[in-house]
Amino acid sequence: KRKGIKYVVQVKKYAEDNKIGRPDLQRLQGSAQHFHAMGMIFVTYGFYSRHAL
């Protein structure tokens, strides 16, 4: 929470051949809705799949 605004943050470190997919981002969005967050931040060292973008 910063200046009264809630953010949901998720950090993932998957293997190089395992990309971040749409379900990962949908779960983050569900958490943001559950906690009434105004923003989401997804941090990864990996790559996003084409369907996640």
Q: Can you give the pLDDT at residue 35?
A: 94
**Confidence (pLDDT) at 21:** 94
DSSP classification of residue 51: G
Contact 18, 46 (CB under 8 A): yes
pLDDT at 16: 83
Question: Domain coordinates of the chain in residue numbers?
Answer: 7-52
Longest dimension (CA), the chain: 38
What's the pLDDT tens digit per position in 1-53? 667 889 999 999 988 889 999 999 999 999 999 999 999 999 998 899 999 88
pLDDT for 4 equals 83
Residues 6 or more apart whose Cβ sits within 8 Å of residue 13: 44, 45, 46
pTM for the whole structure: 0.80
